[in-house]
């Protein structure tokens, strides 16, 4: 998978000139959308199949500051998928290669009514694509 790059915008910084902590979670969302696109399953395709993927949990460890104009490269790695929960890891680095944030998110897959979806039945191609990027056991 190709890492995603985000350029820090002025409005994403605070009065000290540092990126506000809430923006890292937004960048995770951007990188996850890009990850899904690269898998061949953009959210538009998932939603067309009436599958929705809300966030179950999110965790961020802020390691170094970033500021306006910094280019942050975000590597997304699928950690595990058990048919119900997908866990993704994120590593965000600046142009110098310094890690600015490590993070993790978990996602579930629901139908329009909010019930869990059996992805192996409804979107087997998605499960096959995920298998290609998950760590081998």
Could you tell me if 72 and 65 are in contact, meaning their C-beta atoms sit under 8 angstroms apart?
no
Q: What is the pTM of this model?
A: 0.94
Strands of the 85-93 sheet, one edge to the other = 4-7, 71-81, 85-93, 99-108, 55-62
Full set of structural domains in the chain with CATH: 4-133 (3.10.129.10)
Could you tell me if 19 and 13 are in contact, meaning their C-beta atoms sit under 8 angstroms apart?
yes
pLDDT block averages, 10 residues each, the chain of length 137: 97 97 97 97 93 96 98 98 95 98 97 93 93 90
pLDDT at 75: 98
pLDDT at 136: 86
């Amino acid at each position: 998978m190709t890492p995603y790059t985000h350029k820090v915008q002025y409005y994403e910084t605070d009065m000290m000139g540092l990126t506000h902590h809430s923006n890292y979670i937004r960048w995770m969302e951007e990188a996850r959308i890009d990850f899904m696109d690269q898998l061949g399953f953009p959210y538009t395709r998932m939603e067309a199949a009436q599958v929705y993927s809300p966030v179950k949990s999110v965790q961020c460890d802020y390691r170094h500051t970033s500021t306006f104009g910094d280019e942050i490269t975000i590597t997304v790695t699928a950690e595990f998928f058990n048919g119900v929960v997908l866990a993704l890891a994120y590593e965000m680095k600046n142009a110098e290669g310094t890690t600015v944030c490590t993070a993790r998110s978990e996602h579930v897959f629901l139908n329009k009514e909010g019930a869990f979806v059996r992805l192996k039945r409804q979107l087997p191609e998605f499960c096959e694509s995920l298998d290609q990027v998950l760590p081998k056991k």
